[in-house]
Structure 1
Amino acid sequence: MVIHHKDGVPPWVKHGHHHRGITISVAECHTIGVALQQRMVKQRARELAVALLNRVWQTGDGASQMAGFTLTHRPSGQPVGEHPLLGEYAVSISHSHSWYAGATSDTAVGIDLQQYRTFGTTAWRYAFAAGEQHWGRVQACAAWAIREAFLKSHGCGLPYRLSDIRIDWHNALVSHPDQLECRQFWLWYSLDWVCALCFPLQGSLMTDTDIVVVPGGSIERQGESHHGE
C-alpha cells in the first residue's frame, strides 16, 4: 500500500495507470446550532463525494467534462457515483458531529469517521465483544469506525451486529463469520477523530493499492469553481 498526501490528481489517473486506487478527503463544517450543523454536515458530505468523483475520474477530454457525476443510491442504500459517459464508480460517505469524509475508488470501498466520544451501555453491547469492554475511547472509536466501514464496503448494514465483525489489528484485516469477504483496513488518526477505510484484498498482496489523501478545502474550492463555470 502506498499513501500520498497531496493536492494533485492521483497518479494512477494522471498517468493512465489501471491498478487499484482510492482517494479520500476529510473536512469540517462549523455552524450555529446543533440541528443546522447536522443538516449542513450531511449536505457537505454529499457535495464532497461528488467533488471527489469529478476530480478523480473525469478525463481531460471535453466530452466527459460537459457532464458531471451525480450521487445515487442502490436499493440497499449504498451510494454510487454515476456519470453519463464514464459509468459508475464506488463512493462512500461518512459524517460525525462537525466532521465529514468521502472516498471514491475503482473497487469496493467503505469509509467511516468517528469523532472521539464515550459509549453508553447499549452501544458497548451492540458494537464490542466481551474482551473489548476495557478499551479506551480512541481504540473503541477506531474499532467502531472499522466495523462500520467494513459493512459500507459491502453495501450492507443491518442485520449485522458490529460486535460480530472481527478485527485483526496486527495484519490490518477485518472479517465476518457470515458470507462477507474479508477486507483490508487503513486507519487515519487526528486529535479530534479517527477515520477508517476498508477495501478488498487482491489475493495475498497488500501493496497494489494507492491511497491519496486530498485536503477537503481544496476539493470543495475546486467544486465551487466548476459550479461557477
Structure 2
Amino acid sequence: MSGSPMVIHHKDGVPPWVKHGHHHRGITISVAECHTIGVALQQRMVKQRARELAVALLNRVWQTGDGASQMAGFTLTHRPSGQPVGEHPLLGEYAVSISHSHSWYAGATSDTAVGIDLQQYRTFGTTAWRYAFAAGEQHWGRVQACAAWAIREAFLKSHGCGLPYRLSDIRIDWHNALVSHPDQLECRQFWLWYSLDWVCALCFPLQGSLMTDTDIVVVPGGSIERQGESHHGE
C-alpha cells in the first residue's frame, strides 16, 4: 500500500476475487481454495491485492453518488503515519484499513478512524508471547490468543501507529468490548468475528454508531495464480 497517490475511477470495477462470497449485515465473507506460490510473487500479489481491496471498498462507498461525483474519481493515498486514505474531490475523505494473514484479507473503510486486523489461527513462539501478551495471558489457547493479537493490532491501526508500542501493554476489556493503552491513545471499542480458519477484529472510536458509516470485507487470497492474472495493473 505504499507509493505515490493513485487516481481511481469508479468504472475501474471490482476484481472477481473481491466479489466472491455472500453479504450479511454489511460484511462480506468468502471461501476459496489456496495455492502456494513463490515468496517474491507472493509479496507482489499481497501488495496488489491490498490495493485492489482498498479500491473496491472505496468504490462501494462512493458508488451511490451522483453522476458528477462518480466521474470525478478519487485518490488513494497515505497519511504521514502510512495509513491509507481515500480522498474524493466532491465527497470528502474516508479512512481505509487493510489486513492480510496467510491466504486471507480483510478491509474496512469509514468516515471515522478505523482499524482492522485478521489473524489466521496459529501458535506463537516464546518471543511472540513476551511481546504481545501479559503475564496473566500466557495460558491462553490459540483462538483467544489470536483474537487478542488481532484486537491489539487493530487498536494501533485505528490510531495510525505501530512502534514503539508493545502489544502486551494494550489492555483489553473483554466484557465491555473496549481496548485501551496507558499512554495517551484514546480508548476504542472493538468487534470480533470468528470463523473456523481466522478471527478478525475491528476497532473504532467510542462515540457514534459505526454500522451505517463503515464497510467491511473479509475475502480469501486463494486462487492467486488464476484470479490474479488479469489484475496486474497499477
Aligning the two structures, in what range does the TM-score lie when normalised by the shorter sequence? 0.7 to 0.9
Worse overlay, 34-43 or 183-192: 34-43
Worse overlay, 67-76 or 150-159: 67-76
Contact 2:110 2:213 (8 Å CA) reproduced: no
- Looking at structure 2, the residues matched to 59 and 108 of structure 1 have their Cα atoms a distance apart, in angstroms, of 22
Where in structure 1 are there 5+ consecutive unaligned residues? none
Q: Following TM superposition, by how much is the alpha carbon of 1:72 offset from its aligned partner in structure 2, in angstroms?
A: 1.0
- Looking at structure 2, the residues matched to 2 and 169 of structure 1 have their Cα atoms a distance apart, in angstroms, of 40
Partner SS state of residue 134, structure 1: coil
| Structure 1 residues 104-158: Cα deviation after superposition (integer angstroms, max 9, x where no partner) | 0111100001111111111111110000011111111110000000000011111
Worse overlay, 218-227 or 152-161: 218-227
Q: Following TM superposition, by how much is the alpha carbon of 1:66 offset from its aligned partner in structure 2, in angstroms?
A: 1.2
Q: Following TM superposition, by how much is the alpha carbon of 1:67 offset from its aligned partner in structure 2, in angstroms?
A: 3.2
Worse overlay, 25-34 or 66-75: 25-34
Distance 1:181 1:69, change over 3 A: same
Contact 1:147 1:162 (8 Å CA) reproduced: yes
| Structure 1 residues 32-69: Cα deviation after superposition (integer angstroms, max 9, x where no partner) | 22432232123112211111111113433111111333
Distance 1:169 1:84, change over 3 A: same
| Aligned length, in residue pairs | 229
Contact 1:27 1:101 (8 Å CA) reproduced: no
Contact 2:133 2:168 (8 Å CA) reproduced: yes
- Looking at structure 2, the residues matched to 27 and 149 of structure 1 have their Cα atoms a distance apart, in angstroms, of 25
- Looking at structure 2, the residues matched to 183 and 149 of structure 1 have their Cα atoms a distance apart, in angstroms, of 10
- Looking at structure 2, the residues matched to 121 and 65 of structure 1 have their Cα atoms a distance apart, in angstroms, of 50
Worse overlay, 198-207 or 114-123: 198-207
Distance 1:42 1:28, change over 3 A: farther
Q: Following TM superposition, by how much is the alpha carbon of 1:2 offset from its aligned partner in structure 2, in angstroms?
A: 33
Partner SS state of residue 192, structure 2: strand
Distance 1:122 1:16, change over 3 A: closer
Worse overlay, 29-38 or 88-97: 29-38
Contact 1:110 1:149 (8 Å CA) reproduced: yes
- Please give the TM-score of this superposition, normalised by the length of structure 1: 0.76
What percent of counterpart residues are identical? 100
- Looking at structure 2, the residues matched to 37 and 187 of structure 1 have their Cα atoms a distance apart, in angstroms, of 27
Worse overlay, 59-68 or 106-115: 59-68
- Please give the TM-score of this superposition, normalised by the length of structure 2: 0.75
Aligned counterpart in structure 2 of residue 102 of structure 1, from 97, 107, 114: 107
Partner SS state of residue 45, structure 2: helix
1:131-146 alignment runs, 5 A limit = 131-146=136-151
Distance 1:135 1:226, change over 3 A: closer
Distance 1:14 1:216, change over 3 A: closer
Contact 1:29 1:98 (8 Å CA) reproduced: yes
Distance 1:221 1:170, change over 3 A: farther
- Looking at structure 2, the residues matched to 11 and 209 of structure 1 have their Cα atoms a distance apart, in angstroms, of 22
Aligned counterpart in structure 2 of residue 215 of structure 1, from 211, 217, 220: 220
Distance 1:28 1:69, change over 3 A: farther
RMSD: 7.2
Contact 2:7 2:75 (8 Å CA) reproduced: no
* Over 6 Å off, 4+ runs: 1-29, 203-229
Where in structure 2 are there 5+ consecutive unaligned residues? 1-5
- Looking at structure 2, the residues matched to 219 and 5 of structure 1 have their Cα atoms a distance apart, in angstroms, of 24
